Amino acid sequence: MNKYEFGFQSNKGNPYIFLMILSPLVTVPLLVLMENLNLPVFFIVILTPIIFGGYMMYKKGKARDEITLDNRGFTSSYYGRIDFNDIAEIVQLPWYRRNPPTMAIRLTSGKKIGWNLTYRGSIFNTSADAHTFDDFTTALADKLEARVQHKNPFVEQKAPETTSLAGQLQGEKKRNNSVYWTLPLGFVVALTGLIRTCGKDWLPNRNIDFGKVAARQEALYHQNIITARQIMDSMAVVNGPAFLYTNDTGAILKQMPDLEVEEATGIRVFQQTAANMEMQRFIEHPDSFPPRIFVIGTDTVFKKMTKSILNMDDSASRYLYLRVYDTSQHIKAPSFRGSTMDTTKYKVFDVTTAIPIYDTTKIGEAIEKAFPGMHLMLAQVHHRSSFKVYLTGRVSEGIPEHLFRKAVLELNKQFHAVKVDTTLFVSKTFFN
C-alpha cells in the first residue's frame, strides 16, 4: 500500500466566492437609495461581506488529505473509503478548471469528489503537495490499468463501467499538461481497421455518421461474442474437464481463446472494431486459436496458465500449471546505480509456470522443481494469509482426474513439510 499526503483546495469554499461576487451587486443599489450616507459607512457595508466571504472561502476551502492506495481502491481521510467499483467516471474538466494536477471523480452513487491543486502553489497547496498528488494520480492510473490488462470478452466483467477509467484518467492528465496534438500508433492501427471494416459505407457519403458506425460496431460486437462463446462451449466439451486446487476458495477456471482485444486508444468505436476483427478471425478459424485455461481469483483478476522461462522450450506432452499470487508483495524492478523508482511502479507478485510430467520423473519431484526454492515459496502460505496458490490441469493436456488427484497429494506432502494447513484448500472441477 502507498500513502500520499497533501494539501488542496476543497469545493466547500466555493459558495463563499459567490457571496463575494454577488454582495456588491445587492448592497450598492440599496446604499445608493439611502440618504445621508457617509463614505466610511459606505465602504464598511460594501467591504464587510467581501472580507467575510474571502475569510470563509480560505477557512472552508483549505483542506488536507491522506490517501492510502491499495489493490481494491483507496482510503481518503477526507472522503472516506472509495473502491474501484465505486468509481463511475473520471470527470473531463472544462477549460476554466483545467489547472493541473486538479482531478474530479464521479462515483456510482452520483456523488462527485475532487481535489483542486496547482503546480505553482497557492494559499491552499504548496508545489510539493501538487507533485505528491500527481504521483497519486499516476499510481491510480496504473492500478486501474492493471484491472483491465489483457481484457477478454469471454470473461463476464462484474464492473464493465470501470474498464475505461484508466484511459479516462490518463486522458485527463494529458489534457491538463499537453500543449500539442499527438497521434498514437494504436489510433492509426484502429483507424485503419475501422476504415477497412466500414469504408464502403462511408465512401458514398461526404459526412460520416460516426453514431451509426458505432451502433453497427456495437451490434456486431455483441453478435460476435455470442457466436464465439458458442464455439468455445463446444470446444470445452471436446477438451474435457479441467481441475483446480487452491486456497482461494472463490476462484474459478475459464477456457477461452488467447485473443488480443485490449483497449488501445480509449475510443470505444475503435476498440470494438479491433475486437471484432480479432473475433472474426477466431470464428472463421477456431482451430488456429487453441483455448487457454485462465484462473480468475476472488478479486476478479484473471491469469493465463502458461509456461514460464523455466520451461518455455520443454517438450513434454503432459503439463500441470502452478500460479503463486500475493497482492501484498511486489517485485522490485532492477535500477541503475543512483537512480530511483516510484514504488507504485513495482508489479504485484503474480507468477505462473508449467510443471512438465514425464514417465521417468515422479510427480512430487516435478512439483518440487517448479520454482527455485519451492519449499520457501510454499511456506509463504503459512506466514501470509494473502499468499494464494493455484494448481491446475486438464484432460486435453494429458492430465486425467486420477493423475491430478495424485498431484494434489504430492503437493500436500510438500505443504505439510513447511507446516501449511491444507484444510484451507479446495478442489474444483470445471467443463464437465
Question: Which residues, in sequence order, are CB contacts of 42 under 8 Å at separation 6+?
Answer: 31
Cα 347 to chain centroid distance, Å, stands at 13
Every domain of the chain and the residues it spans: 2-177, 185-430
Strands of the 73-76 sheet, one edge to the other: 80-83, 73-76, 62-69, 2-9, 112-118, 101-107, 87-90
Helix 185-202 with 268-284: angle, nearest 10 deg: 80
Whether the pLDDT of residue 399 is over 80: the answer is: yes
Question: Which residues, in sequence order, are CB contacts of 413 under 8 Å at separation 6+?
Answer: 364
Whether the pLDDT of residue 296 is over 60: the answer is: yes
pLDDT at 31: 64
Whether the pLDDT of residue 202 is over 60: the answer is: no
Strands of the 319-331 sheet, one edge to the other: 347-356, 319-331, 387-394, 242-246, 426-430
Structure confidence by residue, pLDDT tens digits, 235-283: 766 778 999 999 999 999 988 776 665 544 455 556 667 777 877 777 8
Structure confidence by residue, pLDDT tens digits, 86-130: 888 888 877 667 678 888 998 988 899 999 998 888 888 999 999
- Sign for the CA dihedral angle at 337, 343, 344, 350 comes to positive
Q: DSSP assignment, residue 163?
A: T
Cα-Cα-Cα-Cα torsion 225, 229, 230, 233, nearest 10 degrees, comes to 180
Helix 374-383 with 401-417: angle, nearest 10 deg: 80
Compute how many other C-beta atoms are within 10 angstroms of the C-beta atom of residue 403. Answer: 17
